[in-house]
Amino acid sequence: MASFKEIVYVGVTTIMLLVASTSAVDYIVGDDSGWTINFDYQAWAQDKSFRVGDRLVFTYPAGVHNVFKVNGADFRQCTAPVGAVPLTSGNDVVALESPGEKWYLCGVAQHCAVGNQKLGIVVAPNPWSPLPSPSPAPSPLLSDDVSDQNQD
Ligand SMILES: [Cu+2]
């Protein structure tokens, strides 16, 4: 009985991991417009369901813009954190590794304050890996395996 349970548990876990990995989405921020000024990123984000495991891709001509990850207060005031290092490659991939609110802005000149180059999103937990993860209580299974080996 115990080993049957173990097989079912491993099988279900494998299926969940497969589903989770294949359902992760790469979002090109701004789609064809990319990361730029005078674009409504709130409207862009509005109909999307960001989840843990998804990724944001900021695309822009390198040197023209950059990407700072900021907190809510800095987001509202369009201030880049002192000492923070922005992403500058022009093809910046940001993995969404935890649920909650995330804020990004461009720190070049007045792009955020005047050009509205800022993105705020809410990341939902991945439905296939709930926090806190259930512990499978492996000790009975282990002792069962040992007794099987002893019989052999
Ligand atoms: Cu910019």
CA of 107 to the centre of ligand 1 (A): 6
- What pLDDT was estimated at residue 127? 73
Nearest to 112 by CA among 63, 139, 77: 77
CA of 95 to the centre of ligand 1 (A): 20
DSSP 48-67: --EETT-EEEEE--BTTB-B
- What pLDDT was estimated at residue 5? 65
CA of 111 to the centre of ligand 1 (A): 5
In a domain, 43, yes or no: yes
- What pLDDT was estimated at residue 80? 94
Measured distance CA(60)–CA(40) in Å, rounded? 16
- What pLDDT was estimated at residue 25? 97
The CATH number that applies at residue 110 is 2.60.40.420
CA of 84 to the centre of ligand 1 (A): 16
* pLDDT tens for each residue of 114-143: 999 999 999 999 876 655 555 555 544 444
Q: What is the CA radius of gyration of the chain?
A: 22
In a domain, 35, yes or no: yes
- What pLDDT was estimated at residue 148? 46
In a domain, 148, yes or no: no
- What pLDDT was estimated at residue 118? 98
Percent of the chain with pLDDT over 90: 67
In a domain, 49, yes or no: yes
DSSP 8-50: HHHHHHHHHHHHHHHH--EEETTGGG-S-SS--HHHHHHT--E
Q: What's the pTM value of the predicted model, to 2 decimals?
A: 0.71
Which residues of the chain fall below pLDDT 70?
1-22, 128-152
CA of 99 to the centre of ligand 1 (A): 26
- What pLDDT was estimated at residue 3? 63
Which residues are 5's β-sheet partners?
Answer: none
- What pLDDT was estimated at residue 12? 53
The parent domain of residue 119 ranges over: 26-123
CA of 13 to the centre of ligand 1 (A): 43
CA of 67 to the centre of ligand 1 (A): 8
> How many independent structural domains does the chain possess?
1
- What pLDDT was estimated at residue 23? 78
